[in-house]
Structure 1
Amino acid sequence: MEANQEVLAALYNLILAEGTRQWERSQLIIAKNALENNQSQGLAQLEAVLRPLALRDNLSPDVMDFYQALTETTSIATPSFTKTPQRSMQAADTETAIFAGGCFWCMVEPFENHPGILSVLSGYTGGQLAHPTYDQVLTGHTGHVEAVEIIFDPAIITYQELLTIYWGVTDPTDAFGQFQDRGAHYRPIIFTTTKKQVQVAQASKNQLQETMKYLQPIVTEILPAKPFWPAENRHQQFYLKQPKRYRRIKRARKQLQQFKALSAWTKGVFGAKKS
């Protein structure tokens, strides 16, 4: 309880500070309210929403100090904060999943509103370039793919359930992109963060192939997770920031998904009759 009071005091100070930007203040208030309601997930969510700006050194100075304390990357600068055990700043028993399935604009909403999901962050991974930008990844020469990093509570939602969502919003037979998104930086990949995830993902992929839902081979790769670089803030929660544009993109993606499924079914039915 004392640790929570120390964190709350730091949050209050930042909320009231003149140098705190309005967007930062709104996120701090959300975290403060969650902590006051004994919701430990609030700090994990705050860390996730601040991360894109923090990694680009674009937070106001005091909020950056708080963020560094939150992520244990530096000693805590606020005197009253020094008493706070670092573990109390973290959400316990969380797990991370990373999925690539085409443009990350369409990969956030399908996951974000499920119980047990703490945060869904758009970003880049799989390549060699550190701190890549959207324009650099778009060239297709960085080795990165657009992806989402999902922090979740496995006691509420399992990794298998996340995989079920993933298979439902991607085309696992397309190695050269996803629907209208073409290029190597849009290829479908499951990046695993634990040995158990490797086993569950491979079993799930095998099961999907055995269902004969797809006539073509499942080409989605399963690879060990590499450093995940959060995308620029304008790409985070794109479906909320540009809802009309997102709905158009989502509709086109869904139509292509349905067309491909119908084509596969037609080919299967009439191909079977001919044989």
Structure 2
Amino acid sequence: MGENQTEIESKVYNLILNPHTRDWERAQLREVIDEVAAEKSFDRALADLEVKFRPLALRNNLTPDVTDFYHQLVGNKSSADPLDLSRHYAKDAPNQERAIFAGGCFWCMVEPFEKRPGIIAVFSGYTGGEVANPSYDQVVGQYTGHVEAVEIIFDKRVISYKELVELYWQLTDPTDAGGQFNDRGNNYQPIIFVYNSQQRQIATDSKMKLIESDFYGRPIMTKIKAATTFWPAENFHQEFYKKNPKRYKGLERERKLFLRYLRLKGRLRAILKQLNIIR
């Protein structure tokens, strides 16, 4: 792992104390501490732990923070490097603004925004719920009322909030209130969270324009709500497209294919309306 025993033991203790660590994971971590206390080789104890975690890690079924620790155990440091969240907590400069969009799994919502000029930072996280500092397990289990979302910090001199909203419509299916694409459940519903009256007006006008276009031929279900506390997700979920490129590309390919299908249907619908074949 490239760290000394004291540093690794500290991480093990922190995971044991982490309220989001599952009971089974916590038991395995405690066993490492107990075995070392009984004078078992520390390296041997870590090797045994890696073997126990491996089946779940290969199925992406460890909790996010334990997943990061597992990647450190096997030497995959780039997947476990912590993302600097200081921009999330910092006060915005006069030329900066924030936007929050929920559009299904946040893994696929980061890259399209992050690569636009004028974007300062994009964070994956949870918002719109009632519980402080929710975990991924809690949100996916729909126990807290949160949705997966992205928080975008942008430079208003380079890119406008209106442009971000227009991009958001291109990334989602606004007619699906039960989730997005293969991700089903209230935690994946599409919502635009607005910080002020100006954002609300821009989002509302954009939504009305989409409704009036009748592009989809179905009701637009995307909600517009007041922004509430945005809780950054666990490090495992931050910049997922960079840390897990192969898995991300597979998910993104499916998403793009479905969006292309929706746009094709919309264009066909427009042609049929022009020909007075449908109304």
- Find the counterpart in structure 2 of residue 223 from structure 1: 225
CA distance in 2: counterparts of 1:93 and 1:147, whole angstroms? 23
- Find the counterpart in structure 1 of residue 146 from structure 2: 144
- Cα 1:91/1:182, change in 2 over 3 Å: same
1:175 aligns with 2:177: yes
The secondary structure found in structure 1 opposite 2:125 is strand
- Shift, 1:90, TM fit: 5.7
Which of these two proteins has the greater Rg computed from alpha carbons? 2
The secondary structure found in structure 2 opposite 1:273 is coil
Aligned length: 197
1:129 aligns with 2:163: no
- Shift, 1:140, TM fit: 1.4
Matched-pair contact (CA < 8 Å) for 1:179–1:257: no
CA distance in 2: counterparts of 1:166 and 1:99, whole angstroms? 7
Q: What are the ranges of 5 or more consecutive residues in structure 2 without an aligned counterpart?
A: 1-6, 8-81
- Shift, 1:233, TM fit: 0.5
Matched-pair contact (CA < 8 Å) for 2:216–2:266: yes
CA distance in 1: counterparts of 2:225 and 2:238, whole angstroms? 24
Q: How does 1:77-116 map to 2 (within 5 A)?
A: 91-116=93-118
- Cα 1:183/1:272, change in 2 over 3 Å: farther
**Fraction of identical pairs, as percent:** 51
| Structure 2 residue identity aligned to 1:189 | I
1:191 aligns with 2:225: no
TM-score normalised according to structure 2 size: 0.65
Q: How does 1:1-275 map to 2 (within 5 A)?
A: 49-51=83-85, 91-263=93-265, 269=272, 273=277
- Shift, 1:141, TM fit: 2.1
CA distance in 2: counterparts of 1:192 and 1:222, whole angstroms? 7
TM-score normalised according to structure 1 size: 0.66
- Cα 1:274/1:178, change in 2 over 3 Å: closer
CA distance in 1: counterparts of 2:92 and 2:177, whole angstroms? 37
What is the CA RMSD across the aligned residues, in angstroms?
2.6
- Shift, 1:267, TM fit: 6.4
- Shift, 1:185, TM fit: 0.3
The secondary structure found in structure 2 opposite 1:50 is coil
Runs of 4+ in 1 over 4 A off after TM superposition: 263-268
CA distance in 2: counterparts of 1:184 and 1:263, whole angstroms? 26
Matched-pair contact (CA < 8 Å) for 1:105–1:239: yes
Query: 1:55-90: CA deviations, max 9, x gaps?
Result: xxxxxxxxxxxx69x957xxxxxxxxxxxxxxxx86
Matched-pair contact (CA < 8 Å) for 2:100–2:151: yes
Q: What are the ranges of 5 or more consecutive residues in structure 1 without an aligned counterpart?
A: 1-18, 20-47, 52-66, 73-88
